[in-house]
Chain A
Amino acid sequence: DAGVIQSPRHEVTEMGQEVTLRCKPISGHNSLFWYRQTMMRGLELLIYFNNNVPIDDSGMPEDRFSAKMPNASFSTLKIQPSEPRDSAVYFCASSSGGVNQPQHFGDGTRLSIL
């Protein structure tokens, strides 16, 4: 079975540019999560969706960050405008029933903002 698929795997861009990260969850999973991982702050939950509806976006750091889930098989995380402090690894995960079910992670997008 295909796991969670994220693209791109690596992204290098200049400060001020718009960045879009993409995620395809595991088929049949109804919950999707976006995380950010840094050495300083570890793994932080940014936002999660149940049945394509955002449930908790309290982890989104600023208005520059936005996430959408237009259908059950696709989600995007957008940063506009990007800043060097946004450099991190961004993970997408999916589960079959919210935060308290096992989450299955993609391999992440390593984002570098110059």
Chain B
Amino acid sequence: EDQVTQSPEALRLQEGESSSLNCSYTVSGLRGLFWYRQDPGKGPEFLFTLYSAGEEKEKERLKATLTKKESFLHITAPKPEDSATYLCALGDYGQNFVFGPGTRLSVLP
């Protein structure tokens, strides 16, 4: 059974203080590793898809990386508007899809 864990559960940063969020997974045949952002009262918003170990993708202050066992979401010089819950999810070749529990990020001005 595919499993996804995320750490830390919650993270508080000062504006400009860079950090990383972790997504660890076990899967029988990774098809894709996804990162989403969720704001309170809203549905998750797609950020990135990573397909193979060594792949990296960037968008503004966010960079996602992938290894065979985990993915990191690096946040460089965050701003208060980056505060949200960040979810990772994975799909396998059996058409299974599972979300992790998320990391709640707070960026203080």
User: Which of A's residues lie within 8 Å of B, judged by CB?
Assistant: 4, 42-45, 48, 55-56, 91, 93, 98-100, 102-108
Contacts and interface: CB of A to CB of B under 8 A. Distances in A.
Which secondary structure characterizes the binding site on chain A?
strand
A99 B97 contact: yes
Contact of B87 (A43, A98, A100): A43
Contact of A56 (B41, B44, B49, B95): B95
A42 B102 contact: yes
A103 B100 CA distance: 15
A105 B39 CA distance: 12
Given A42-B100, A42-B101, A55 B95 contact: yes
Contacts of B42: 107-108
Nearest to B99: A43
Given A42-B100, A42-B102, A99-B96, A107 B41 contact: yes
A100 B32 contact: yes
Contacts, number: 49
B43 A99 contact: no
B91 interface: yes
Q: Which of A42, A98, A99 has the most CB of B within 10 A?
A: A99
A105 B45 contact: yes
A108 B46 contact: no
B38 to A, nearest CB: 9
11 contacts: A42-B99, A45-B99, A56-B96, A91-B43, A93-B43, A100-B97, A102-B49, A103-B44, A107-B42, A107-B43, A108-B43
Interface in B47-77: 49
Given A105-B43, A106-B43, A99 B95 contact: yes
Contacts of A45: 97-99
